[in-house]
Amino acid sequence: MTALTSHQGALAGIKVLDLSRVLAGPWCTQTLADLGADVVKIERPIVGDDTRHWGPPFLHDAQGQATGQAAYFACCNRNKRSVTIDMATPDGQALLRRMALEADVLVENFKVGGLKAYGLDYASISALNPRLVYCSVTGFGQDGPYARRAGYDLMVQAMSGMMSITGLGDDMPGGGPQRVGVALTDTFTGMYAATAILAALHARQASGRGQHIDMALLDVGMAILANQSTGYLNSGNVPQRQGNTHPSLAPYQDFPTADGSMLLAIGNDGQFARFCQAVGRPQWSADPRWATNVERVRHRASLIPAMEEVTRQRTTAAWIALFEDKAVPCGPINDIAQAFADPQVQARGLALKLPRDAQDGIAEIGSVASPMRLSEHPPVLRHAPPALGEHTDEVLLELGLDSVEIARLRAASVL
């Protein structure tokens, strides 16, 4: 079991009011929470965040039985405190405005204009707290013809062109557009949002004022096309699906082995020459068709079959062992269980078990460690992903309410 930590993170003292749901916004706020911010997640009474019900798979209790609480929620809500408030009620709106007065950051992912009716939009809240950094996460941004549309990761993967370059080509068996196996635009939007928030907090030190951050999934989806988009913008050539091969590098793909497959990621001519020497084909790196990366890309059709004849002669493990000390990038193609069993993953402590005591039968929750390794202010582990409303009384008492007022609000179904 992983012990929860008591040290403070780099963002200790920063208060975040989290009005976001599902993945992009919660991914952002979990990033801030891992860095030490106090993140209070506001959820609907009884129902909570939609992802609490997105299962299977479900969390298990101490006896190993599924609980009905979805594991999806746990991926992006650790280190937060859960408070249930019905923002559709006047009392709920008043509570949230009071909390926003004390917050440094507010993150929301409602439809454009959706919070104005509650007096929780940027214009209303920033008038009360000019130092507030207010981050809105939507599908398409605060302006433009699609601004009021709902946006989802899968939709953006399709619209941005991501699916058009993912999967096998139409001329290959099983060809056709494919989504990436995780909600890539959601998670990247969360990381971009966290980065923008940190920039706004830094700017506030000089100006004394917060600002509005407009994050859109479609903007991020276009931005993370990276070399594929700049290739198109500068050449006019529309990238196509090509399976696991790379448009600008060769050999840079999967190869068959005696017992499965492996991945070779050869990114320069020196690596290719070392590969050729290791496999007993030194003449390949002198062949004018294959001597340089540009020529290898042009003559991929002759190079790859020749390499496949060789790679089928040994097991994946044997190839990895052979290339280990030769600076030839080579690795297995793991499933997720194999990835967590990998010695390097284990050495880095990437699988966590976070203890939880919410009186709901769940003793611990599995989680993946933050990849942010700060030498002086490492990520904190203060809270397992919370049960719905687990910290409502605690947070409202800190806000200055007394137990009588909390009981009244609960009786009125505000909490």
Fill in the amino acid letter for 39.
V
CB burial readout 295-311, b (16+ within 10 A) else e? bbbeebeebbeebeebb
Sequence-distant (6+) residues with CB within 8 A of 330 are 262, 263, 264, 265, 319, 320, 323
Fill in the amino acid letter for 26.
P
DSSP code of residue 234: H
Neighbours of 230 (CB within 10 A): 10
Pick from 74, 18, 14: which is nearest to 43 by CA? 18
Q: Is 48 left (phi over 0), alpha (psi -120 to 50) or beta?
A: left
> Annotated catalytic, 342?
no
**Gap between the Cα atoms of 303 and 284, Å rounded:** 9
Output the CA angle 12-13-15, nearest 5 degrees. 110
Q: One of 186, 357, 360, 393 is an active-site residue; which one?
A: 186
Residues with a known catalytic role: 186
